Structure 1
Amino acid sequence: MNQWGRDLALGFRFAFAGGREGWTRAVLTAVGVGLGVALLLLTTAIPNALAARDDRGAARTDITFSAEMPAKADDTLLVVEASTVFRGTDVRGRILEPEGPRAPLPPGVDRFPAAGEMVVSPALKRVLESGDGALLRERLPERIVGTVRQSGLVGSADLTFYRGGEGLAPYVDGGQVVRIDRYGDPNPSREKSDPVLILLILVVLVALLMPVAVFIAAAVRFGGERRDRRLAALRLVGSDGRMTRRIAAGEALAGALLGLVLGAVFFLIGRQIAGSVEVFRFSVFPDDLNPSPALALLVAMAVPAAAVLVTLLALRGVVIEPLGVVRTAKPARRRLWWRLLLPLGGLALLYPMVGQGNEDGDFNQYLVVGGVMLLLIGVTALLPWIVETVVGRLGGGGIAWQLAVRRLQLSSGTAARLVNGVAVAVAGAIALQMLFAGVDSDYTKSTGYDVSQAQMQVTSGGGVGIEDAAERLRGTEGVRRIVAHSEGWLGDRRLDPEKGASVTVGDCAALREQARLTSCRDGDVFAVPGVEYDTDTARLAVPGRTLYLDPSYAGSTPGREVAWQVPADLRKVEARRDLSGMERGGFLITPKALPEGAAQAMTGRAYIALDPSVSDARERVRNTVAALGPLVRAEDWSATEESNRFASIRTGLFVGAVCVLMLIGASLLVSQLEQLRERKKLLSALVAFGTRRRTLSLSVLWQTAIPITLGLLLASAVGLTLGAVLLRMTDTAVRVDWGSLLSMTGAAAGVVLAVTLLSLPPLLRLMRPDGLRTE
């Protein structure tokens, strides 16, 4: 151990005191390792960031749709759900009316805003004060009197406001308007763990972290050829082979330790930047990105250990002699059999879980992680063999082609290492895209809305009649058509009715959206029996029978019920699916047949068709609705809705993929610059002999294009295989998402092309005859 320590320390010293070559290689290694370490630290910090977001979101919970609400007291608060959407971004909003001096303040708010005042988040304040926020400012005209602090926001880009309200008590319904005496959900519900979602999380983590590990392993081998030639001098002064390798490991250890420092610096810089950006509508505060101490310690220990191990393994096939390094001899051909064992072993680990699906218990997490890791590591093992085999068979061509092919034939392993990380990232991304696409239908369901006929819905409340709302909306720019009606409930008794049926009130055009009417005029009444789950309409639709609108059990105050007698000319009609995709049973009543006072017991709905040629039509509708009152709501329609947990995991994948893609680009650029630095004298010699710069530039492009093409082909094959196995594990039919496959390979190829173009200016500077000078 003492000998190991002395040799590693000597290598450490050579890294920084061994001249320009030594510290240049150490800095390049440190930058490459630092980028990987920064991403690893970011990954270890994500669980804490998510937990912090969830904790703050839970702490500000106010509307729980609970039937149990406290009675009015000096410590109660009335809260109205007033959220909106602005150009596709959710804006969380609440209207507050304290009922006493001890009413609970929302987290992050110092005082209650009065009527006409508003407290907003910093991000929302920036939007409202910007030129693009003019339409939103019309919707939120209150005077801003304060900002919401971090404790009341889930992320730095959270758009949140609290407005002052008054006279809200009559509208308390336990849904949109509630009474609370504290913030936070007193009875939080815990969702049952979903095996498929757990599988998605595991595969996402492995697929995103494996490329980082590959890049770090490649970074510690930067400048390997020049380092090995320098180590020959140690053999000349008496060092044996083992000692030389340990000194080389110490030099790599120095770069790795410096990389840890740079990684910490990069992470701190990135953490500050993360607080000011939003990726896929996901944002965090810098304080949230605190790596777990245990995981950070694991990274700090694993990276230097990996640097030493990778260096020792890499030097096994290199003979460092006192008079030089034996690399020019024809190397032994790489063997295929042991490289195939890795992906086959991964498949063997995953195979027992095939067909387990979502109903036969949880997946074994260790087998999932181990199987996916072996398959992805198999990419790094197979790619050098494939590159060597293919380039060994490539023949003649143009000068640029021949230069590129010959260079690849001499150092196919270096070329493979350059694209290993890209191939692993693409393989994992393809498998994940297949898995997400395959199980998407299980977590995405149709809403039933006819979005071809209507794109928005407006619900009236707070004493605002739907007729008045529809009239205002018809005058709004961008509104092409409106279908409006009111809904209520009829019971057979004033209190605690045994039988009941829904009632819909509207003009003939609106009622024709609900049922098949042969004729209709104002004053007509129709019954729609036989609809699924409606068993009482046929029994209640007896001419002369008295029914009661809005009976007390439906949530209203006793005494507000309105009596209504079934008319003698009642007609029975057949239901049809309306614009919301529902078949409505019960009674259909035209306005003239509605008894006086019944409108107050009903909820109005309007379905709006928008003119696609009018920009911001949705925002204009929301502005009109906001002017009608705080209890009138506008909602967007979509053809499908997605599980929140599934959407969160996919968002995490996209955020992680963006970070890994940035790491790919940065690491490839560093690798490319290191390769060019290694070949400085060779390039200068070629230029001195008259080789055109365009030819050399094209040869560098071919040196990148050939291995990246082979890497992407291998990644596609492994990714498709892994994706198919994961789909069979979830008991889902195997289906290839060709669009995602092409997009992922195209994105990776685009990154490589961009890196190659960025490396051309340094390449042109290196292609000078004076590069042959030496000291």
Structure 2
Amino acid sequence: MTATATRALSPLHDLPVRNSWPRDFALGIRLAVGGGRTAWVRVVLGAFGIGVAVAVLLVFASIGHVLGNQDARVSAGLPRAEVVAGVAPTELVRDDSVYRGRLISGQYLHGTGPGSPVPPGIGRLPGAGEIVVSPALAGLMAADPGLRARFPQRVVGTIADAGLRGPADLAFFGGTGPLPPAAEIGPRAMEVYAFGGAEPEAATDPTLVIVAVVGGAALLVPMLIFVAVSSRIAGAQRDRRLAALRLAGVGAWQVRRIAAAETLVSVAVGFVLGTAAFLGLRLLAPRVEVLGWSAFTSDVVPSPVLAVLIVVLLPVLAVGTVLVSLRRTIIEPLGVVRDGKPVRRRGWWRFVPVVAGAGLLLAAAPGGDPGTASWIAIVATGAAALLAGVPTILPWLLERTVGRLRGGAPSWQLAVRRLQLDSGTPARVVSGVAVVLAGAIAMQLVLLSTGSQYAPERAADDWVTVDTTPAAADQVAADLAGVPAVAQVGLARSISAVSAASHERVTIVVTSCATIQRTLAVPHCTDGDAFLPRTPLQTRPGDVLTLVGAHDTGPRPRPHGTFTVPAGLVPVPQRLSGGPYLGDVLLTPAAATHLTPPADVTARAWVRLAPGHAGATDRIANAVGALTWQTFVSGGTGDLLTADQKTFATISTGLNAGSIFTLLLAGVSMLVLALEQVRERRRPLALLAAAGVPRSVLARSLLWQTAVPLVLAVLAAVAAGLGLAALVDRLLGTPVKVDWTTIGVLAGTGFALVLLVTALALPALRTAMRPDSIRTE
């Protein structure tokens, strides 16, 4: 028995020889905290691992509350167009724009009466020439004079939290004078009688759900493995102490209770540290932004059910791991004290989690309903079980492998012999790395196979379009002419019509010869010419077109006259390479003299950019900003991602960041356990050094002791990652794509961790080799 254990147990009459729960737990606590500096180091290291897991799991448990609060605020700000008797409506025009790839969501408002509805987040409707901006947009406007020029109005306030999805939102509410009828402006305009409509439920994309669920499992399982590994820190010392108690007459159940109490001390300290870390991270939430998504501090609140589950699950996992490791202490305590060779491991049950996880993923129907809790539970449980099977198999695989190794250099033989005597601890050292690598490999391959369907489809980089009203078209052209990044500007007025023959929509465009020649392969054009681009509509000369409102999209739009396609139209290709789509029938102004268009004609400026036009879209939006709601800029390099593309990018970014974090966490775990191994073996190491074994041989031996298990861990991780990716791709209905470069980079990162851990453990190795480490009491 060690001197520490002797001090903790003296006097002898304090031994819990009777079956007393309070005395057993009290002794366990004394062993945890009353053993001097070594005991406290053990408690702190175990508490660190549990604390990190608690903080991360509480963050995960808060995601549902964050998303729920964000959706509630978005729903509260949705305008409702249903007529309410006695309410003077608010005229509203949406005016979204892009700033350096980020969406600026805006609304121009005009109240038609004293009781006109006001959106949440502002106290009153802004007047003409006034604007209320979000705090994030206010900060950007203060830092960028060009962006400030886009909003010439006077800033009269900031939007409160109730009017924003998150603190990083770029949003504004601008005031304006009386607006034209909504039918003349288009779908961006409406009359609002109340705010707070129910947001239409979007169809759930099964691909995004599966990627998020499996990715979450790939990040959470390493956390649980980390808790289990942390609870085994200094396991050999604990086993020897408890074995000595067992030999002194303590019963088997008493040993279990003492070990549980000792473990619960680290768990309690870990929960305090983890909760404090979570509260600190919660305060930093408003400063964290991922692709425009952010959260207020008040949003980051764990789900009560999940919080209770964390409080129950982590202690059970930590204590259960320790109790399972006590089999030798309870059954053969004398062998533990003498460091006897462990019993050969059985392998059949270690493959059960992998088989069960694969079976659940195979049982999940491809293309199933991702909105059902049962389907999500099956997929998440299957992925978690398959990943959890990796650390279960590793000790058995390592034992069978090193048992067949013979010969080699002295450092190799020392390492192999140590692994043959104790393969469980080295397997635990690399189990966290193996699970992280397996999850990272699987998710990278899944993202590779699904990423193509979420790739943004951008417009040609040489063109930007500015939609405007016919009244402001000339002003737009004048403003754009002064932008250095603009090479050419062409104005086009579009008139909607319905073909009497095919009953399909036809777009008649009236524009200048210069615009036609810049965008189409037209060798010659004079005012009065008409052109017929080749389109699937196959409009022909002589066809009668019924003119309708551009924004009248009903099944039976109201007619506004007719137009007969003139004879002598010149057929031309639809567009030049990379050029914009103009319309189905192109008329020069002289050819459209007999055309009487409806009131809601749309106007568009086609802008060709000059070479070297980085940020040109933003400069164009700034140039026409004074026209407020009358312009809408799109195209070029500032295209926005769709909702699904943005969600996929957010998930991908989160999974990549989570993989890096968990890999670093696994590296820390590996370093802690490697240092513990050196500390526990300081006496044999000092004896070897005293016998003349060079320090370099022992250092290489330490390297081999970590490298051999890691090689097996990487092989197991690659197999598990490929298998999980194949099963997930089966659910998604996408072909499996194997990127060996990515796999090689991830595997190389694992080996780099081995070198780093070995280098950091060398000072401890030198300390352990000192002659005073041979001294014993």
2:118 is paired with a residue of what secondary structure?
coil
Distance 1:640 1:420, change over 3 A: farther
1:214 is paired with a residue of what secondary structure?
helix
Paired residue type of 1:504 = V
Alpha-carbon distance in 2 for matches of 1:308, 1:331? 22
Q: Is the contact made by 2:90 and 2:192 (CA closer than 8 Å) also made in structure 1?
A: yes
Distance 1:343 1:677, change over 3 A: closer
1:288 Cα deviation after fit: 0.9
Q: Aligned residue for 2:531?
A: 526
Paired residue type of 2:50 = V
Alpha-carbon distance in 1 for matches of 2:74, 2:244? 63
Alpha-carbon distance in 1 for matches of 2:243, 2:425? 21
1:329 is paired with a residue of what secondary structure?
coil
Cα deviations across residues 507-556 of structure 1 (Å, max 9, x unaligned)? 3353357766464222212345x843x37x437547xxx9757589579x
2:32 is paired with a residue of what secondary structure?
helix
Q: Is the contact made by 2:459 and 2:635 (CA closer than 8 Å) also made in structure 1?
A: no
**1:349 matched to 2:360:** yes
Q: How does 1:306-705 map to 2 (within 5 A)?
A: 306-318=317-329, 325-326=336-337, 328-353=339-364, 356-357=366-367, 364-392=375-403, 404-441=415-452, 443-444=453-454, 447=457, 451=460, 454-461=462-469, 463-465=471-473, 468-482=475-489, 484-490=491-497, 501-511=506-516, 517=522, 519-527=524-532, 531-532=535-536, 534=537, 537-538=539-540, 541=543, 550=549, 553=552, 570-577=568-575, 586-595=584-593, 601-611=600-610, 613-637=612-636, 644-645=643-644, 647-648=646-647, 651-652=650-651, 654-655=653-654, 657-659=656-658, 661-666=660-665, 668-680=667-679, 681-682=682-683, 700-705=702-707
Paired residue type of 1:178 = M
Cα deviations across residues 185-219 of structure 1 (Å, max 9, x unaligned)? 35x32234454444334323322221111111111
Distance 1:469 1:169, change over 3 A: closer
Distance 1:299 1:515, change over 3 A: same
Alpha-carbon distance in 2 for matches of 1:526, 1:117? 45
- Structure 1's unaligned 5+ residue stretches are none
Paired residue type of 1:39 = V
Among 43, 47, 54, the residue aligned to 1:26:
43
Q: Aligned residue for 2:141?
A: 128
Q: Aligned residue for 1:191?
A: 202
Q: Aligned residue for 1:178?
A: 190
Normalising by structure 1, we get a TM-score of 0.84
Q: Aligned residue for 2:3?
A: none
1:589 Cα deviation after fit: 0.5
1:463 is paired with a residue of what secondary structure?
helix
Among 101, 106, 110, the residue aligned to 1:97:
110
1:211 is paired with a residue of what secondary structure?
helix
Cα deviations across residues 473-524 of structure 1 (Å, max 9, x unaligned)? 344223345555332124699xxx9886320122335335776646422221
1:277 Cα deviation after fit: 1.5
Distance 1:616 1:574, change over 3 A: closer
Alpha-carbon distance in 2 for matches of 1:745, 1:113? 58
Paired residue type of 1:485 = A
1:538 is paired with a residue of what secondary structure?
coil
1:307 Cα deviation after fit: 1.8
Alpha-carbon distance in 2 for matches of 1:753, 1:609? 54
Q: Is the contact made by 2:541 and 2:568 (CA closer than 8 Å) also made in structure 1?
A: no
Q: What number of residue pairs does the alignment pair up?
A: 751
Normalising by structure 2, we get a TM-score of 0.84
Paired residue type of 1:350 = L
Alpha-carbon distance in 2 for matches of 1:622, 1:435? 38
Alpha-carbon distance in 2 for matches of 1:480, 1:410? 76
1:325 is paired with a residue of what secondary structure?
helix
1:378 Cα deviation after fit: 1.6
- Structure 2's unaligned 5+ residue stretches are 1-17
Q: Aligned residue for 2:56?
A: 39
Distance 1:322 1:719, change over 3 A: closer
2:630 is paired with a residue of what secondary structure?
coil
1:32 Cα deviation after fit: 0.6
Q: Is the contact made by 1:108 and 1:149 (CA closer than 8 Å) also made in structure 2?
A: yes
- Seq. identity, %: 36
**Greater mean alpha carbon deviation, residues 427-436 or residues 217-226:** 427-436
Alpha-carbon distance in 2 for matches of 1:100, 1:491? 38
1:47 Cα deviation after fit: 0.8
Alpha-carbon distance in 2 for matches of 1:721, 1:330? 35
Alpha-carbon distance in 2 for matches of 1:26, 1:772? 25
Distance 1:740 1:550, change over 3 A: same
Q: How does 1:725-740 map to 2 (within 5 A)?
A: 725-738=727-740, 740=742
Alpha-carbon distance in 1 for matches of 2:69, 2:616? 37
1:458 Cα deviation after fit: 1.9
Q: Aligned residue for 1:720?
A: 722
Q: How does 1:65-84 map to 2 (within 5 A)?
A: 70=83, 75-84=88-97
Q: How does 1:87-166 map to 2 (within 5 A)?
A: 87-130=100-143, 133-166=144-177
Q: Is the contact made by 2:342 and 2:421 (CA closer than 8 Å) also made in structure 1?
A: no
What is the alpha-carbon root mean square deviation over aligned residues? Answer: 4.1
2:283 is paired with a residue of what secondary structure?
helix
Q: Is the contact made by 2:240 and 2:337 (CA closer than 8 Å) also made in structure 1?
A: no
1:119 Cα deviation after fit: 2.0
1:297 Cα deviation after fit: 0.8
Q: Is the contact made by 1:208 and 1:425 (CA closer than 8 Å) also made in structure 2?
A: yes
**Greater mean alpha carbon deviation, residues 148-157 or residues 624-633:** 624-633
1:311 Cα deviation after fit: 0.7
Paired residue type of 2:448 = A
Cα deviations across residues 666-705 of structure 1 (Å, max 9, x unaligned)? 4542552354145233566777778777776665555444
Distance 1:706 1:120, change over 3 A: farther
Q: Aligned residue for 2:10?
A: none
**1:50 matched to 2:50:** no
Paired residue type of 1:451 = A
1:588 Cα deviation after fit: 0.9
1:261 is paired with a residue of what secondary structure?
helix
1:579 Cα deviation after fit: 6.9
